Amino acid sequence: MFEVLSRDGLGRTGKLGSVSTPNILFATSKRFKEFKEAEILLSNHEIKSEKMCVFDNGNSFYPGNLKGDFVIPTGIPYPLSCSEFFENYQNDKIVLVKDIESLDKNREVYVLSNAAELIKKPKEFVKVLVELREKIGYSKIVYTPGIGTPNSYAILVYLGIDLFDSVPLITNSRKKNFLTPDGKINVDGLLENPCRCRACNDNIHDFIHLLHHNYYVALSEMKNIRNRIRNNLLRELVESRVRTEPALVSMLRHFDKQYDFVEKYFPIRKEKMIITSKESLFRPDVRRFQKRLKERYIKPESKKILLLLPCSAKKPYSFSKSHQLFRKTILNSGNPNIVHGVVVTSPLGIVPMELELFYPAQNYDIPVTGEWDEYEIKIINGMIKNLIKNNRYDKIINHTGYDFVDVGVNTCIDKAVSQESLKKLEETLSDLVKDYEHIERKKIAVENMMNRAVFQFGNSGADLVKDSMIKGRYPNLRIVKNNKQVGMLVGDRGMISLTIEGGKILIKKKKYFVEIDDFKLKGDVFAVGVNDADSDIRIGDDVIIVHKNVLKGVGVAVMSPEEMIESKRGVAVKVRHKI
């Protein structure tokens, strides 16, 4: 039985029996002895091993009589093309992917037998993988025979592939290609050997030593990928590896276009996001933030003046020296709570200050050059236009130093933090705010929290904050209603954590719910006990746990809603509070 252990988008680590995934099947025959470091063996003859074995049962002319964990029956030669597969592992069947529409969803392993041909057309390859995963769900294994080298494993795992084999490693070794995670170089052109693996330490350059080097590099990269997934950094690795081949970049770009499919598997929060290339601008989590700004965001009601501010290297912005200067200037204006600070930044476009804690606003790291390219400016202009279109501001001030869309008064003379610029900003604000009613801090605190709740939970989040009081010291703020805490903004997490009282409010809206069987909560909720889940849930979201509209507890989603429903193994929700 396969169990997913950690997730990062479509990439995941898991256990297939005792074997970790993603992983490589290593071909073993009379010509190729068993590679000691291998966890899974692929053989055309009977071998005695405690490791998991996949046996090729020969062909119609020379049929074999092999038995094992996985057995490939007689038929078309393996692995570049295959006939039907059957396995004895856990009494389930492997299915060969021929017609996606007619696939049996009750199998565990799906073999894309024509992967070696499909991968030559990146757009078609991505399309087939998306269609396959949509058909079979998240919790099934996908095996692509005959493809994959160290520099391409990361993107292939990111696309949702779990198993590979060593055939491309053997083929490249025959061609005398020295493989690395950065690509390949013919061994004849290798002036110095940069590797210190066991095979290279012998300083021998025959076929077997080259093959074993390629094996070691492949396994090392697979372990690197598994570590990256556990730390939610697979995307960063993918963006560095795809630069080694144009076809790999093409795969990533085509996959990013499948936003509606990919985004639902991306966690709502990660510890950090590293922006290093143009491809980073199209990350699903970047686009999700932008999409929520367009669909879920309305400015705080009391804010009358829009103030566009530059971003800062330090996050959250308000903790940086530059934004402390901006804050002091706004306070000096005399009526600070009617001024709406909105940060202009790449890759997100804009970040309203009340959302500065929400991922990825306080988690991204980008090279600071002081310049944006045309596409970045296009994104920023589009986000500003959308903000102005959806919200009514009486005045707009641009203190960024950049000329964006026509946004009114420009107060940045040289640098945004120069004394001349700050003085002009203060004078401009002071002149504008004097005609407005003074807004109390308590009122704006509720409005800001309302925006955070709606951004996180959609419209149902408004009821969580309505008629509440906000207590505590930023960035850790408690939401209190009728002397009961319903939730808390946690600074490090950047999200509102629910209490049982908060769960009682959200249950009325039937959103962000996980429906479970009729049992008493004692610990976490396992997927086997889940009957239904709100499609808006993302990994890392706060959710309410219910049974027939009765609240059982609140917690944090560990799986996507689809996986919760279809899977029979693993924790679906980490329970924080239970009734």
Look at the alpha carbons of 1, 521, 572, 537 in this order and tell me if their dihedral is positive or negative.
positive
Q: Which residue has the tokens 């491809």?
A: 279
CA–CA separation, 131 and 145 (whole Å) = 18
The pLDDT of residue 88 is 30
Amino acid making up residue 436: Y
The pLDDT of residue 93 is 45
In the structure, what pLDDT confidence band is assigned to residue 58 with cuts at 50, 70 and 90? Answer: very low
Among 3.40.50.10630, 3.40.50.720, 3.40.50.740, 3.40.50.300, what is the CATH number of 299-433? 3.40.50.10630
Average pLDDT over residues 47-51: 82
- Give residue limits of the domains in the chain: 2-259, 299-433, 467-578
Residues whose CB falls within 8 Å of the CB of residue 155, separated by 6 or more in sequence, listed in order: 238, 241, 242, 248, 251, 252
Q: Give the tens place of pLDDT for each residue, 189-204.
A: 998 999 999 999 988 8
Q: Taking the CB of residue 514, how many other CB atoms lie within 10 A of it?
A: 28
The pLDDT of residue 102 is 67
Q: Which residue has the tokens 């061609």?
A: 175
Q: Among candidates 559, 565, 561, which has minimal Cα distance to 529?
A: 565
Q: Which residue has the tokens 């095996």?
A: 143
The pLDDT of residue 372 is 85
Judge contact between 4 and 14, C-beta under 8 A. Answer: yes
Q: Give the tens place of pLDDT for each residue, 416-469.
A: 999 999 999 999 999 999 989 999 999 999 999 999 999 999 999 999 999 999
Q: Give the tens place of pLDDT for each residue, 217-256.
A: 999 999 999 999 999 999 999 999 999 999 999 999 999 9
Tokens of 505: 């409010």
Q: Does residue 4 register a pLDDT over 60?
A: yes
Average pLDDT over residues 292-313: 96
User: What CATH number labels 2-259?
Assistant: 3.20.20.105
Q: Identical fold at 2-259 and 467-578?
A: no
Q: Does residue 83 register a pLDDT over 60?
A: no
In the structure, what pLDDT confidence band is assigned to residue 74 with cuts at 50, 70 and 90? Answer: very low
Percent over 70 (pLDDT), the chain: 92
In the structure, what pLDDT confidence band is assigned to residue 53 with cuts at 50, 70 and 90? Answer: confident
Q: Give the tens place of pLDDT for each residue, 205-214.
A: 899 999 999 9
Secondary structure of the chain: what % helix, strand, coil (to 5)?
35, 25, 40
Superfamily of domain 467-578: PUA domain (2.30.130.10)
CA–CA separation, 264 and 44 (whole Å) = 41
CA–CA separation, 442 and 166 (whole Å) = 64
Percent over 90 (pLDDT), the chain: 78
Q: Does residue 489 register a pLDDT over 70?
A: yes
The pLDDT of residue 97 is 67
Burial of 436 per CB tally in 10 Å (0-12, 13-18, 19+) = middle
The pLDDT of residue 117 is 87
Q: Give the tens place of pLDDT for each residue, 118-164.
A: 999 999 999 999 999 999 999 999 999 899 999 999 999 999 999 99
